Amino acid sequence: MTKTAWVFPGQGSQESGMGTDLVSIPLAKARFKQAQNILDWDVTKVCLNENLELSQTLYTQPCLYVISAILADLMKDAGFKPSIVAGHSLGEYAALYAAEVISFEVGLQLVKLRAELMNNTPPGVMTALIGFDRDRLEEQVALTPDVVIANDNHNSQIVISGTSAGVETLLKKIKYRRVVPLDVSGAFHSPLMADISLEFNRTLQTVAFQPAKVPVISNVEPSPSSEASVLKNRLMEQMTGRVRWREIVNSLDQNDVKKIIEIGPGDVLTNTIFKILPSIELENVSSNTNIATTNKQVRLLESI
């Protein structure tokens, strides 16, 4: 049996209209109702309407979590299950849900609080760098105050995070092919998040985690674990720690994963994984249509 990983995208993967084909499915309808009771607003209206809310951290993170969790539910309902899971930043919460470490409701309550805190962060910026000398970058980041590597996505793309002055200083000291400022509300995954991380972790500390049904690879420590205490401690470091996505993908390969399925809106992770492991089997599940197609293909193969 092919060892399969499920991976879940983070903020930046949202798109207007995501979840359109889920609203009439009974399982999904029940989840959307649960979400509305927790959030006091309707995920489907935010996702399906043409407005600016979906691009705001306050709404983006809960919407992404809900859609990703529903798709994971539908995958399981169709008879699929992962061998191991991981998520990119926010996606780690959907991964923990898929591994049954936390319930859907607990996950959404945590994401709601996370989004509220991150929506009101101290001033800061995040910028993607494409095409750079990694050794030179790491060296100059270490020597430049108020800027860190926030997301290590693949060999040719990283995201730096920090104060405007810190980011500007670093950019003057390195060479790169392209720079892309990110439309976010703060310097996520940096020490500037320390205060809100402490506030968030006070709540996280009270939440009961269960041992994972399948191993989870965390953002700040890219090695598989099923221990509840380990997974919670790693999550507590996530808001200020680096998203080590490049290492996560390599860890999946080292753990004999032969197929990786991105579950959630968009194909951002699929594209980054291809750049790291071009020969691995990749699949994208961003709608119920994808699940139905996959199920049909599996049944066809089984009948041959």
Per-residue pLDDT for 282 more than 80? Answer: yes
Alpha-carbon distance of 176 to 158, in angstroms, equals 11
- Catalytic (active site) residue 88: no
- Its pTM stands at 0.94
Q: Are 89 and 10 in contact (CB under 8 A)?
A: yes
Same topology between domain 4-120+190-303 and domain 125-181: no
The percent of residues in the chain predicted with pLDDT above 70, rounded, is: 95
Instruction: Reduce the DSSP state of residue 126 to 3 states and report it.
Output: strand
Residue 301 pLDDT? 36
Of the residues 83, 89, 161, 251, only one is catalytic, namely 89
State mean pLDDT over 147-159.
96
CA 206 to chain centre: 23
- Catalytic (active site) residue 287: no
Residue 304 pLDDT? 40
Per-residue pLDDT for 297 more than 70? Answer: no
pLDDT band at 53 (very low <50, low <70, confident <90, very high): confident
The 10s digit of each residue's pLDDT in 20-40 is 899 999 999 999 999 999 999
The 10s digit of each residue's pLDDT in 215-253 is 999 999 999 999 999 999 999 999 999 999 999 999 999
Per-residue pLDDT for 69 more than 50? Answer: yes
Residue 8 pLDDT? 98
Q: Tell me the pLDDT of the chain averaged across its residues.
A: 93
Q: Please say whether the structural domain 125-181 has been given the CATH code 3.30.70.250.
A: yes
Domain regions of the chain by residue span? 4-120+190-303, 125-181
Q: Are 257 and 82 in contact (CB under 8 A)?
A: no
Instruction: Reduce the DSSP state of residue 217 to 3 states and report it.
Output: strand
CATH topology for 4-120+190-303 is Malonyl-Coenzyme A Acyl Carrier Protein; domain 2 (3.40.366)
pLDDT band at 49 (very low <50, low <70, confident <90, very high): confident
Of the residues 83, 161, 185, 189, only one is catalytic, namely 189
How is residue 50 written in tokens? 């043409």
